[in-house]
């Protein structure tokens, strides 16, 4: 499996991926419980691109049925850590 990760490292990585996959996204100051699709105006392509980058860079496999688990910073972090 992958290297051990702290929640802070995972959070930082998620923010980094969001910045790259959603150009212009204001990631700082996001409410960890807020829906990313609403906060960052993400459409289904953005969601897929975010999930793809997450899957590759954090080495977690994300089936399509789990996309909704990624849609707040808090839940996304927990999802990655649970894998």
Residue 71 CB, nearest approach to another protein (Å): 10
**Residue 2: closest CA among 79, 58, 78:** 58
Nearer to another protein, 7 or 20 (CB): 20
Residue 31 CB, nearest approach to another protein (Å): 17
Nearer to another protein, 15 or 60 (CB): 60
Query: In 1-83, which residue ranges form alpha helices assigned H by DSSP?
Result: 7-21, 36-39, 44-57, 73-82
**Residue 19: closest CA among 52, 60, 50:** 50
Which residues contribute to the site for another protein (CB under 8 A)? Answer: 23-24, 37-38, 41, 43-45, 48-49, 51-52, 55-56, 61-65
């Amino acid at each position: 499996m992958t290297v051990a990760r702290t929640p802070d490292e995972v959070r930082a990585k998620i923010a980094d991926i969001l910045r790259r996959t959603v150009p212009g996204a204001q990631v700082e100051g996001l409410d960890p419980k807020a829906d990313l699709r609403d906060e960052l105006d993400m459409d289904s392509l953005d969601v897929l691109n975010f999930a793809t980058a997450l899957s590759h860079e954090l080495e977690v496999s994300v089936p399509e049925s789990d996309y909704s688990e990624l849609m707040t910073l808090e839940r996304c972090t927990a999802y990655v850590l649970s894998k």
